[in-house]
């Protein structure tokens, strides 16, 4: 695990865009494409804005996926999709696969998302990069403390129970753990306690399910407690 402490959220976002450009360049040079899954939450919002104007990324060869999404109608302000809209202007048609959280049958929709991942990233799918966050309760993606989704080991996409008023569709820990690299973005004083658990792989928090030998962690001073 590589750890960098940045001054603030803006520095964190800038550094993240530079790292993502590097991951993209390497993946495209090696395989001709870059498969990248992006999390929701407030921390990556600025990063996504900066990525949308980044000219160092070969966007025609990028395949973009969601790490998780709230089960909510289109247009709801808490949908993660809203944050991705500026970035979607860069990605070719068909190269972004949104989670179909408006489907009548969510289990079928999660299975279809897994099928799409396999079409693009192999079977089992291995993503080049998964961007993750850390909640103050230790969750990452929508791997929520106490939720049965934490026990899912035979599927790459699953539906959670209720959390903060919404169910979610999420990548499960096996596909996250299987990815070639993970980029963690952690910011804010409210994360300090969870960060200490995260760094010692405390099994009490879901974020510890993910092996960190391929992890790059960007954390701001507020979250680090420095």
Domains of the chain: 2-224 (3.40.50.1360)
**Percent of the chain residues past pLDDT 70, beyond the cut:** 100
pLDDT tens for 7-21 read 999 999 999 999 999
Evaluate if residue 169 carries a pLDDT over 80. yes
pLDDT of residue 226: 62
pLDDT of residue 150: 95
Confidence band of 180 (pLDDT split at 50, 70, 90): very high
pLDDT of residue 16: 95
Average pLDDT over residues 174-180: 97
pLDDT tens for 190-208 read 999 999 999 999 999 999 9
Average pLDDT over residues 33-51: 89
pLDDT tens for 43-68 read 888 899 898 888 788 999 999 999 99
State the chain's mean pLDDT as an integer.
93
Average pLDDT over residues 124-136: 96
Average pLDDT over residues 54-83: 91
**Percent of the chain residues past pLDDT 90, beyond the cut:** 80
**Segment among 84-88, 116-120, 131-135 with least mean pLDDT:** 84-88
Average pLDDT over residues 75-79: 89
**Segment among 89-93, 103-107, 141-145 with least mean pLDDT:** 89-93
- What is the SS3 string spanning the chain? CEEEEECCHHHHHHHHHHHHHHHHHHHHHHHCCEEEEECCCCCCHHHHHHHCCCCCCCHHHEEEEECEEECCCCCCCCCCHHHHHHHHCCCCCCCEECCCCCCCCHHHHHHHHHHHHHHHHCCCCCCCEEEEECCCCCCECCECCCCHHHHCCCCCEEECCCECCECEEEECHHHHHHCCCEEEEECCHHHHHHHHHHHCCCCCCHHHHCCCCCEEEEEEHHHHCC
């Amino acid at each position: 695990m590589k750890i960098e402490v940045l001054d603030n959220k803006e520095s964190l976002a800038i550094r993240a865009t530079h790292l993502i450009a590097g991951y993209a360049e390497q993946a495209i040079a090696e395989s001709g494409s870059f498969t990248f899954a992006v999390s929701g939450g407030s921390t990556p919002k600025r990063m996504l804005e900066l990525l949308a104007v980044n000219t160092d990324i070969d966007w025609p060869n990028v395949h973009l996926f969601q790490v998780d999404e709230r089960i909510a109608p289109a247009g709801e302000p808490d949908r993660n999709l809203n944050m991705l809209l500026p970035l979607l202007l860069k990605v070719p048609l068909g190269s972004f696969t949104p989670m179909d959280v408006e489907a009548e049958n969510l289990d079928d929709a999660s299975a279809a998302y897994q099928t799409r991942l396999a079409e693009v990233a192999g079977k089992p799918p291995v993503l080049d990069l998964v961007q993750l966050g850390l909640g103050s309760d230790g969750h990452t993606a929508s791997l929520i403390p106490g939720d049965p989704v934490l026990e899912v080991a035979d599927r790459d996409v699953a539906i959670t129970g209720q959390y903060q008023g919404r169910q979610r569709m999420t990548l499960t820990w096996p596909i996250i753990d299987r990815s070639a690299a993970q980029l963690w973005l952690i910011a804010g004083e409210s994360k300090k306690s969870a960060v200490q658990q995260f760094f010692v792989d405390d099994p009490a928090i879901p974020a510890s399910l993910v092996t960190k030998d391929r992890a790059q962690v960007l954390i701001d001073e507020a979250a680090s407690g420095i």
